[in-house]
Structure formats: C-alpha cells, structure tokens
Structure 1
Amino acid sequence: MSGRTVSVPDDIKSVYAMTHAMPLVVALAPDKLAGFASPRAMSAEALKLLPPELSKLPNLGGGPDANLEKLKDMKLDIALGWTSPGESYPARQIERIGLPVVNIEVDRLDQYPATFRFLGRLFHREALARALEREMAEVQAAVAEVKTPKPRVYYAESQDGLTTQCDTSDRVEVIARAGGVNALHCEPGAPFAANYPLGLERLLTLDPDVIVTRFAATAEAIRKDPRWAQLKAVRAGKIFAAPNAPFNWFDRPPSFLRALGARWLAGKLHPEVKLGDLRADARAFYALFFGVTPTDADLDQLLAP
C-alpha cells in the first residue's frame, strides 16, 4: 500500500506483523501470526479477549527492537509494516534478513476498510471491512445529530498525564469522531505535534471539559492529585480511562478498535446520542473480530469508569 512491488508466496503461512500491523493479523488471520510484536509481553487481561491459541505465541519485539536473529531462524513468509515514513528504517532492517516487507496503511481509522480488504486478498480471507465501515458510519451519523457545543477534550497519553497530542495528530482522531474538540490546538508544522510535552501550568490555561487517559492508573492519580483539582474536567468528574484490551481503543497501538473508541467516547461526551447498548455492541464486535465473546465480567473490567 506504499506503491512498491514485492514478491510474496501465494499461500502465506507465517507472518511477522510489526506493532501497528499486529492487531489486523490477530483479527483476520490469527493462525498465520508468528508472534506478538510488542515492547512488553501481552497482559493476561488482553490475552483473555483473544483466541486461546495465541497465548502460546512468543513476543518477537517491535520495530527497531525486533529480534532479527530469531526472525531469520523462524523462516517466515512475510513481514507486515506500515506506510508511515518513520517506519522505513525498521523495515529496511527486516529486509536485510531476506524477509519481504509488505506495507499497509494504519495511521487513520478511515484507512482501515481498504487495509482489511487488501489483507483479505493477500491472505485469501474474507475481509472484515464492511462491519468496520458500519460501525464507523453509525457513530458518524449519531454525532452529526448533536446540536450542543463540542466539549474540549484533553488526552493524557503518558503515565503522569502531561504528554499529549496536538489536534493535528492522527493519534487523537477518536476525539473528533466522538464529537469533541482536542483541547490542544497546534499550528501546522509544530515540532511536537505527536508526543507533545505539556506542563501543568499550560494545562491549567487550556482547562479542558473532559480528560481521557491512556492508562487507568493515570485517571486514578489525577482524581487524587490536588494540583489537578483546579481543572474544570476534574471538578466535574469527567476523567475517563480508555478501554485497553486486547489493544487500546484510543491509541498505542493505533488500530481498528478506534471505531469502538469513538462509540465509547461519544457516549461520554454526548449522553443524549442514540448509539444503542455499548456492551452489546462491544460483545458482538469482539466476537466478530477476535473470535471471542466477552463475558459480563470481562465487559465490567473493560468498561470500568
């Protein structure tokens, strides 16, 4: 999907999927996944929401941390990378061991239907694109009906909550899809559009209506920290940790689960929107994309406030 021509086997049996490509293979062809590409081992909470056979897979490292010697010994068919310019270096490293790298588009959620169709042809599997398009369209239509002002949302990405993303970054597209506005506006070409370090003083001037955290522990720490208590979002109790299993619904790795993330956040920002039962929708989505139907207890843990 980056415009190159790559020779690959017609019958692909084993794939090393680099970090952001990994969730797609988990959904579409889990039997072809050679291992997880992650900076840390998959948690028990995440594995519980994936097919049980995946719990036996090794962690092969992601991007520049990939274990090239191990990958070479495994005699894989292809590696999956993605089209972002910054990922050309790890792809070149993998190609040095003779493993062809096929690039897919994963940066923005609207790219995923085409990516699912591309991988469906590559793996000779039925793509999941239509279900994803339907999920995205339902949220878009519901949010379009909202007449109230869009809440200003701050994304607390780091553990301490003081690293975020500019509104120009694809990493926070869930906010706009859910009918919100990113509290941090940056001019085009800002040096830290992604992974923007923000002091607490600057955050106080932004004074967002809602805070979304990447980590549940961050949300809990913000609620208890008197330094954050001056913020409008904290005073109103509008601090929400993004669901995080088996992959984060908001970011890191960015994945098709952002479609559920938009539905989840739209319900927080606009309780009046008609989006149906999030629990039922999440259960059906997981059954379709991961082959696992979450129990009530799984959903309680996943969607905990």
Structure 2
Amino acid sequence: MRPVADEPQAAAAIAGTAPLAWSARALASGGQLWRAFGPGPAHGAIQRVYAAGPPASVLVYCLAPDKMLGWPYELSSAALAMLPPAQGGLPMVGRLSGRGSTLSQERLLALRPDLILDVGTVNDNYTSAAVQVAAQTGIRYILMAGDLNDSPEQLRAAGEMLDAQPRAELLASYARSILDEAAQARSRFARASSPSVYLARSSDGLETGLAGSIHGQAFSMAGARNVAHTPASSGVGRVSMEQLLAWDPDYVFTQNPAFVQHTRQSPLWMQLRAVKEKRLVLTPMLPFGWVDAPPGINRLLGLHWLIDIFNTGRPSAQTDDFIVDFFRVFYRIDAPAELLASARNAQHSP
C-alpha cells in the first residue's frame, strides 16, 4: 500500500472535521494505510489512548504502554502475569471493533481518551462505524490497515501520533528485517514445493482462517500455502471434515490446546498425514498469539518461527535467541524458559 497525500483530509471531510494537527511526516503516512475521523485533542498531545480492538492494543503496548487506558479483550491470566505490572494490571474495558462491540458510548466517554486507535480491516463497514463514533463522541478516531506487510509503516505512523518516534523507528527497522527474511523464504519456496498448511482455530478444528485473510497471513508470508481456499469468501469460516481430508495438508497448526486433545480421540483427524506424521503444531499464545489472535504486529514473532519450522522441520536453537531478543525489544520483558521449551517442542503426535 502506498500513501496518498490528501487521504487524511478527505477522510476528515467525511466526518465533517478539520485534518490532523500532527506533523507533515504523520500526514504523509496516511493514504491507504490509515484514515482519520473526528477532531484532534484540544491540548495537542496524545496522552490517553483507547485501543478499539486487540491488534491496536498490541501496537500501543509496544510503542507507548503508559498511554494505554485498558485492554479491549480478555487476556489470559498467564499473559497478564507475564507483562509489566502497570500493563498487566490494566482493566479489560471492552472493544469497539471486530465481532461485536462490547463498549458502550457512555463507558467510552468516561474513559476520556484523546485518541481511539483501531488496527485491522479497513472497509466500508469499519469506516462507517468510525465516522459514527467520531461524530457522536467528538473523539479523534484513527482506522489503520493491519496488513502484516505494512508493519514498519504502521509502527512509524503510530509512533508519530503517540510521540514515540525513536522507539517506533527501532521497532520498524526490526520488523523490516523479519519481513525481508520472509521474502527470502518465499523466494526459496517458489523454486520448490511450498508446504501446505491448515489453521484449526476452534476446539473441533473446523473453524479456520481462510486463504487470503488476515488470520492466515503469517503462513503465506512464511512461504506456505493455505489449503482453506474458498473463492467466494475470506476471513474466518467453517469447513467440513470431508473437505479437510481431501486437502490433506502437510501441516496442521492450532492455537487451541483442547483441539490437540480432540485429535487424539478422533479417528477422522488421525487420517490426516500431518497428524500421523507429527506435524500437528500448537502455536504459542503468550503474551499474544504468535500467528493470529490477534492479527497484529505480534505475528512478526510467529513469522520467524514459522520460517524456521518450514526450513528445518522444527524450530532450531537459533530461534530461541530470536525469541528472547524479540521479547526484550518489542515487549520489554524476558521470555520465560518454559515458553521457549514449548516453542521448540510444539509438534504433537496422536
């Protein structure tokens, strides 16, 4: 995606407000990457940020955790315990985006945010919702595209908005190195056969991130082919066991431990090559999902991890060092030894 210089002004005009009062650099980062609705804060500086959905909350946490007002979704107790006390102790305030809003307008106003930031899909439905919220509350609403390829630009643009430019540049450079590594992996697989994958999202394994959706993007960027290709739809969907047996992917990935147990009791799942040959992979979820859930910049960690699996068959010792470094740079915490062990031994047999 390339920015279009006049998009922020055009988007603001839709909401009937003036354009952003930030620097020229922030404005130039707009275009198809983000759109702004509603007036900016009267005092100029952004101090209180409401993240409208899970991907936005990870972005704000990585850039300016002290400006977070809360979490828009329920993190596990293990995830909260892993975070610094100030962020681990933040309340779950509810969400404005995704599968149903759980935050009332009254509660949003009570939080007194200077900015609402939403990261993910940018389409007519999300744009309409942003326009409505900004018009009704008078709060600046930023809607930012959440494509994993745009991670460096997301970090730089949000860093400018949150007055965290040096940190944003550090993380953007780190993100670019991971994306470059992924491009090299795709080039290698282009000369050979790409591994086929399936992402089992539910406890029965039949809800999946469809090919081309934001939920399965880390796999395609690591050089794999998502077998769940349905031309008529994208996003999250249900498939049949018959379809899955016909696809017979090389790998089955899941973020759901209950599903791993389900496969051990299911003769149907044990017919899949991936399950029989110990290529059923439980992806780590701490402190945020490594390949999805949420589909934010947290997927950069999973992208490197996936490349290693597809290259060598399982994560290597070098990946331990990468995980430790990523945790310190992006999350500003230490990676627990047990998490490193689970990332190394993520493949399960029936």
Task: Please indicate, yes or no, whether the TM-score normalized by the shorter chain is above 0.5.
Answer: yes
Structure 1: which 5+ runs fail to align?
none
Distance 1:62 1:5, change over 3 A: closer
Taking the aligned partners of 2:36 and 2:86, their CA distance within structure 1 comes to: 34
Deviation at 1:114, TM superposition (A): 0.6
Q: Deviations over 1:61-82 (max 9, x none)?
A: 1121113322211222111124
Give the aligned residue type for 1:105: A
- Residue 140 (structure 2) pairs with residue 100 (structure 1): yes
Taking the aligned partners of 2:315 and 2:87, their CA distance within structure 1 comes to: 36
Question: 1:165-176 counterparts in 2 under 5 A?
Answer: 165-176=209-220
- Single out whichever of 224-233 and 267-276 deviates more from structure 2: 267-276
Query: Match for residue 268 of structure 1?
Result: 309
> Contact 1:163 / 1:197 at 8 angstroms: preserved in 2?
yes
Instruction: Tell me how large the CA RMSD over aligned residues is.
Output: 2.3
- Single out whichever of 295-304 and 63-72 deviates more from structure 2: 295-304
Distance 1:247 1:22, change over 3 A: same
Question: 1:240-251 counterparts in 2 under 5 A?
Answer: 240-251=281-292
Question: 1:85-164 counterparts in 2 under 5 A?
Answer: 85=123, 86-92=125-131, 94-95=133-134, 96-106=136-146, 108-125=147-164, 126=166, 127=168, 128-146=171-189, 148-164=192-208
> Contact 1:163 / 1:196 at 8 angstroms: preserved in 2?
yes
Query: Match for residue 16 of structure 1?
Result: 50
- Residue 39 (structure 2) pairs with residue 7 (structure 1): yes
Give the aligned residue type for 1:43: S
- Single out whichever of 151-160 and 27-36 deviates more from structure 2: 151-160
The structure whose RCO (Cα within 8 Å, separation 6+) is larger is 1
- Single out whichever of 133-142 and 295-304 deviates more from structure 2: 295-304
Query: Match for residue 102 of structure 2?
Result: 65
- Residue 35 (structure 2) pairs with residue 35 (structure 1): no
Q: Secondary structure at the match of 1:48?
A: helix
Taking the aligned partners of 2:203 and 2:314, their CA distance within structure 1 comes to: 31
Give the aligned residue type for 2:117: L
Question: What is the number of residues matched between the two proteins?
Answer: 299
Give the aligned residue type for 1:52: P
Taking the aligned partners of 2:342 and 2:94, their CA distance within structure 1 comes to: 27
Task: Give me the TM-score of the superposition, normalised by structure 1.
Answer: 0.90
Q: Secondary structure at the match of 1:102?
A: strand
Q: Deviations over 1:202-237 (max 9, x none)?
A: 111111111011312212322332121111111111
Deviation at 1:274, TM superposition (A): 10
Deviation at 1:288, TM superposition (A): 0.8
Taking the aligned partners of 1:66 and 1:244, their CA distance within structure 2 comes to: 25
Structure 2: which 5+ runs fail to align?
1-29
- Residue 116 (structure 2) pairs with residue 79 (structure 1): yes
Distance 1:158 1:90, change over 3 A: farther
Give the aligned residue type for 1:158: S
- Single out whichever of 136-145 and 262-271 deviates more from structure 2: 136-145
% of aligned pairs identical?
A: 28
Q: Secondary structure at the match of 1:164?
A: strand
> Contact 2:36 / 2:141 at 8 angstroms: preserved in 1?
no
